[in-house]
Every structure is written in structure tokens, then in C-alpha cells.
């Protein structure tokens, strides 16, 4: 049985956990990585979240992901290929116990739609505190309503995510920086394993 969705108050250690994990990832697959970003709610200062760090790893081409599976397994990541039926432009890995994954790793083509969309969503929440507070309220309500129904929880966020992406623009700082060149690693869309949002 799936554990219930639990939303934790913001933890100022989350950016440090991201940076430490980024170093471990780069130590084993650096030659394939064009950009690496902290995404999801843990990347937004002050925002309550599930205590799982989401990492967005940009590669030159998705086929590079095949060469990353074994090195990432060596530092604790499990590759989940079945999720590609729903999101074919992403290679998904997770780390940590099933009751609460500690890290989700989303490997995509750098500068592609998945990459830009998640950075736009993150950057909008970082620069619009009222939207971040509204998102937090929604997540707490959905967690209380759906319990262990993670699909229902994720689906419940879809309209909010779509509305934010409609407001956000490719003119956001990270989107401009990362549209066609390597991004500098950054610490702190809405994502879960199989059904990443945005």
C-alpha cells in the first residue's frame, strides 16, 4: 500500500541536500551533464513540500541516459523505465526507501520542453510569493483529501500548474540562461515519479 502524501513545512536544509546530491551525481556522470537544476517545491524558499528533492538533469540527447544507468545505480538510484510510457521525453530515477523517496532525478534533453516548463514554473513561484502561498494551501488540502491516492493528489494540482505556466514566460531568468547552453548548478514542477507536473 502506498504511504499517504505528507506535506512538510519548508526546511532550510533542502538546498544543502540538493547541492550535496548534485556533487555525488556529477562525480559519476559529469561528462554527460549539460545542466543540473533544483526543481519542485523544495526549490522554492519558504514553500511547504513533500520532503523529496527533485533534480532536473539536462543532457545533450536522451540516448545519453543509457550510459548513466549503471553509474547512478552505484550511488543508490533506481531507473524506472515503465514511466516512459507516459512521459517518453524523460528518463526517471529515484533514490531512498519506498515509504519516502529522498531524491527524484528527471533526466531530459537540455533546453527541451520538459526542461523549460519546469524552470518556468519554479521561477514563477520563486518570484511570486502569493502564488507560492496559494500553491501551498492547495497541496495541503489535496494531501488531506486524497491521503495515499497520489494520482488524485497530482491530478488535483493540474489546473493550478497549467494556470501558472500560462502566466509564466520563457523570459524568466533561468529559461533565458538555459535555453541553449550549460546551466550553472542552482539550489533552491511539482513532480512525482510517474506523472511529473508541470
Report, as an integer, the average pLDDT of 120-141. Answer: 97
Its pTM stands at 0.86
For position 182, what pLDDT does the model report?
Answer: 38
| β-sheet bridge partners, residue 106 | 56, 92
Which has the higher per-residue pLDDT, 2 or 101?
101
For position 99, what pLDDT does the model report?
Answer: 84
What lies within 8 Å, CB to CB, of 156 at 6+ separation is 138, 142, 145, 146
Using one digit for the tens of pLDDT, what is the confidence trace for 40-68? Answer: 999 999 999 999 999 999 999 999 999 99
For position 2, what pLDDT does the model report?
Answer: 78
What lies within 8 Å, CB to CB, of 47 at 6+ separation is 10, 41, 125, 132, 135, 136
How far is the C-alpha of 124 from the C-alpha of 56, rounded, in Å? 17
Residue 39 has pLDDT above 70, yes or no: yes
Which has the higher per-residue pLDDT, 81 or 186?
81
Using one digit for the tens of pLDDT, what is the confidence trace for 63-116? Answer: 999 999 999 999 999 999 999 999 999 999 999 998 889 999 999 999 999 999
CA distances from 7 to 16, 50, 79, 198 (A): 19, 5, 25, 18
Which has the higher per-residue pLDDT, 81 or 193?
81
For position 113, what pLDDT does the model report?
Answer: 96
CA distances from 13 to 27, 59, 128, 177, 184 (A): 21, 27, 22, 26, 20
Domains parsed from the chain with CATH numbers: 14-178 (3.30.460.10)
Give the confidence band of 192 by pLDDT, cuts at 50, 70, 90: very low
Amino acid at each position: 500500500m502506498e504511504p499517504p502524501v505528507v506535506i512538510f513545512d519548508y526546511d532550510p536544509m533542502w538546498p544543502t541536500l540538493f547541492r550535496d546530491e548534485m556533487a555525488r551525481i556529477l562525480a559519476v556522470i559529469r561528462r554527460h551533464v549539460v545542466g543540473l537544476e533544483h526543481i519542485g517545491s523544495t526549490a522554492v524558499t519558504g514553500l511547504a513540500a513533500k520532503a523529496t528533492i527533485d533534480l532536473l538533469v539536462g543532457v545533450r540527447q536522451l540516448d545519453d541516459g543509457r550510459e548513466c544507468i549503471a553509474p547512478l545505480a552505484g550511488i543508490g538510484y533506481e531507473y524506472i523505465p515503465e514511466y516512459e510510457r507516459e512521459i517518453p521525453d524523460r528518463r526517471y530515477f529515484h533514490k531512498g526507501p519506498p515509504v519516502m523517496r529522498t531524491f527524484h532525478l528527471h533526466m531530459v534533453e537540455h533546453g527541451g520542453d520538459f526542461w523549460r516548463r519546469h524552470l518556468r514554473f519554479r521561477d514563477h513561484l520563486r518570484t511570486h510569493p502569493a502564488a507560492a502561498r496559494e500553491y501551498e494551501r492547495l497541496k495541503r488540502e489535496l494531501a488531506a483529501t486524497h491521503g495515499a491516492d497520489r494520482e488524485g493528489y497530482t491530478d488535483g494540482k493540474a489546473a493550478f500548474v497549467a494556470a501558472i505556466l500560462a502566466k509564466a514566460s520563457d523570459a524568466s531568468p533561468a529559461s533565458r540562461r538555459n535555453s541553449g547552453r550549460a546551466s550553472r548548478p542552482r539550489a533552491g514542477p511539482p513532480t512525482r515519479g510517474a506523472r511529473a507536473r508541470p
